[in-house]
Amino acid sequence: MADEYLLRMDGISKSFPGVRALDDVHLEVMPGTVHALMGENGAGKSTLMKVLIGMYHADRGSITLGGQPVVIPDTATALRLGISMIHQELSPVPEMEVYENIYLGREPRNRLGLIDKRRMIAQTRELFARWEIDINPRAVMKDLSVAQTQMVEIAKAISYDARLIIMDEPTSAITEREVDHLHRMIRSLKSTGVAVIYITHKMDEVFKVADRVTVFRDGRHVATVAAEELDRAKLISLMVGRELTHMFPKEHAEIGEVVLSVRGLTRKGKVDNVSFDVHRGEILGIAGLMGAGRTEILEGIFGVAKIDAGEIVMNGKPIRIREPGDAIAAGIGLLTEDRKLTGIMGVLSVRDNMTIASLGRFSPTGILDRRRMDAACRAQRDALAIKTPTLDQLIKLLSGGNQQKVLVSRWLLTTPEVLMIDEPTRGIDVGAKAEIHRLMSQLAGEGKAIIMVSSEMPEILGMSDRVIVIHEGRITGEFTRAEVTQEKIMAAATGLATAA
C-alpha cells in the first residue's frame, strides 16, 4: 500500500525525570502541506520535534519517512534524511560571517581539500537571490538584527534541500513584513512538494498558512483537523479542553490591604507599561504564553534587570530598587524560573543554599552564628518536610522537588512580605507539586502576598485569587477567581481579547 504520508510518527512516548512529556503521540504529515502544531506551553510540541530530529530519543514509538521506517539517533541523520529544523532559540555563531553560518559543518572543499570560500559565498548569494533575502553573505552574523538572523536561519534550513522543514515559532522575532515574506517562501516550498511543520502560538498565522492543524495537550495528541474546518473558538477549546482536577487547592485566606503596587513598569521591547497591585494574603497569578514577558516583569521588579520606566510602591511608599539586595531589604523575594541556572548552587550544601539570602540575619557583626543558622535550617527542613540526610548534603544530590523546597526556604528565611515565584512547580513530580501548592496556600494564609508566574493552566486556575494575563509585554486580561476560565485566559494570552 503506497503511503500518502511523507511522515508518520506512531506511539511516541518520552519521559523526563518526574514528567511525562509525550504519551503515545502520533503525527502524520502529507507532502506539500503545512501542518501546524498547536498547544499550550509544555504540551509536547517541541519535545516531539526534538525526537524527530534526533535531539531526544523516544522511550517508545516508531517513525516512518516516505514509507520507510527510520531510526534517527542524531541531528546529522535527520539532515541526511531530509529533515531540517529552525529552532526557537537561534543558534548562529555570532563572530562568523553569514555564509559561514549557512554552511557550518558541511563546508564545500576545493581540490586541495581546503574550504572553498568562493563557492560558499556564491551559493549563498544564489540562495538569497532565489528567496529574495536582502542580506550580504559577507556580513558578520552578530551585526544582523534579530529578524535578519531569523531569515538567515530560515534560508539555512531550506538550503539543506530538505523534504520536511520544522519551524518552531519562526515569527516570534520578526516584523509583519518579514512574516509575509516567510509565508510566501512557505507557499513556494509547498509547491515543490516540501512539507512544513509549523509550531506557533499565533492563531492568525495558523489560519493563514496551515493546511492541517494538530493540537497537543499535556503530552497527548488531542486532534488533527483540516484548517478550513476550524475557527478560533473551536481551536481554543481543543487547546484547553481539559477537565479541572482538584489537585490545586488554594485554601481560603483573608485578603488584606495592598502591599506592593507596580506602576507603569516598562522594559523596552519586553514589558510595556504594566501596572498591578497585590494584597496581603493574596495569590496573584500571572498567565501568558512563553516569551510574553512574564518573567521579565518579575526581573524588573526585583532589580535583576534595569527598567526603563515605572515605579514600585511598597506599603504605600515608593522604593528604589537598583539591585536584588534592595528588593530583599524592602521585603520582596524572587524564586526564579530556572532552578539550575539562577537558583541552586549545586556544589554547595543544603545549609548554604538555604541561608545565602539571609546571612545578614545570622551575622550582625559579620561573623556567622553557626548554631542559630543550623537551628533555623532545621526548622525550615522540618516545616517544609525537605528530604535530605543532613544539612551538609550537596543540593545537587536532592530531587527537583526537594531542591525547590530548599529555595522556598531560602526566601522564607528573608521573611518577605511579597514572594514572587516563577513557575513554582516546573520539572518536579506530582507529590512535590502538591506540597509546594499547599505551602503557597499556607504562606498566603499567614498574610504574605504571592505573585505566581505559571505556564500550567490548572495551576493558574487552582491557585490564583486573581489572574492577570500578559501578551507581548502588556496586560491583556484581568480576572477574579470567580470569573476566570481557561478559554478567557487563552483568548487574552493569544491577543484575541483585550482587557475590559
Partner 1 sequence: MANSSATAEGFFTRERIGEWLRKYAIIAILIGMVALLSLATGGTFLQTQNLINVVRQMSVIAILAIGLTVVIISTGIDLSVGSIVALSAVVATSLAQSQDATNLMYPGLSVPVVVAVLAGLGVGALAGFTNGFLIAFFRIAPFIATLGMMTAARGLALIYSDGRPISRLTDEYNFFGQGAILEIPVPIVLLVVVAVAAHVMLNNTRFGRYVYAIGGNEQAARVSGINLRRVKIGIYTFSGLLAGLGGIILSGRIGSGNPQLGTGAELDAITAAVIGGTSFSGGIGTVWGTIVGALIIGSLNTGLDLLNVSPFTQQVVKGVIIVLAIIIDERKNR
Return residues touching partner 1 (CB under 8 A). Answer: 302, 304, 323-325, 327-329, 334, 336, 341-348, 352, 355-357, 359-360, 363, 366-368, 370, 410
Is the CB of 282 or the CB of 422 nearer to partner 1?
422
Task: Write down the residue that cell numbers 497591585 correspond to.
Answer: 277
CB 373 within 8 A of CB 355: yes
The backbone torsions φ and ψ at residue 75, rounded to the nearest 5 degrees and listed phi first, read -70, -30
Judged by CB, which is closer to partner 1: 35, or 351?
351
Minimum distance, C-beta of residue 492 to partner 1, in the bound complex (Å): 29
Q: How far is the CB of 55 from partner 1 (least distance, A)?
A: 23
Alpha-carbon separation of residue 358 from 325, 339, 416 (angstroms)? 10, 19, 11
Min dist. Cβ of residue 322 to partner 1 (A): 11
What gap in Å lies between CA 175 and CA 179, rounded to an integer?
Answer: 6
Q: Are 309 and 393 in contact (CB under 8 A)?
A: no
Q: Is the distance from CB of 337 to CB of 384 less than 8 angstroms?
A: no
Q: How far is the CB of 260 from partner 1 (least distance, A)?
A: 17
Q: Which residues contact residue 311 at a Cβ distance below 8 angstroms, ignoring those fewer than 6 apart? A: 261, 262, 263, 264, 318
Of residues 43 and 297, the one with the C-beta less far from partner 1: 297
What is the rounded distance in angstroms from the CA atom of residue 151 to the CA atom of residue 148?
5
- Smallest gap from Cβ 96 to partner 1, in A, equals 22
Given the complex with partner 1, which of 92 and 343 has the nearer CB atom? Answer: 343
- If the CB atoms of residues 112 and 341 are measured against partner 1, the closer one turns out to be 341
Cβ proximity to partner 1: between 70 and 305 the closer is 305
Round to whole Å and give the CA distance between 275 and 285: 14
Min CB(334)–partner 1 separation in Å: 6
CB 389 to partner 1: min, Å:
13
Nearer of residues 66 and 427 to partner 1, judged by Cβ: 427
The edge-to-edge listing of strands for the beta sheet with 19-29 is: 19-29, 7-16, 60-65, 68-70
Name the minimum Å distance from CB 266 to partner 1.
Answer: 22
Q: Which is nearer to partner 1, 84 or 404 (by Cβ)?
A: 404
- If you write DSSP's letter for every residue of 396-462 in order, what string do you get? GGS-HHHHHHHHHHHHHTT--SEEEEESTTTT--HHHHHHHHHHHHHHHHTT-EEEEE-S-HHHHHH
Instruction: Report the first-to-last Cα separation within the chain, whole angstroms.
Output: 55
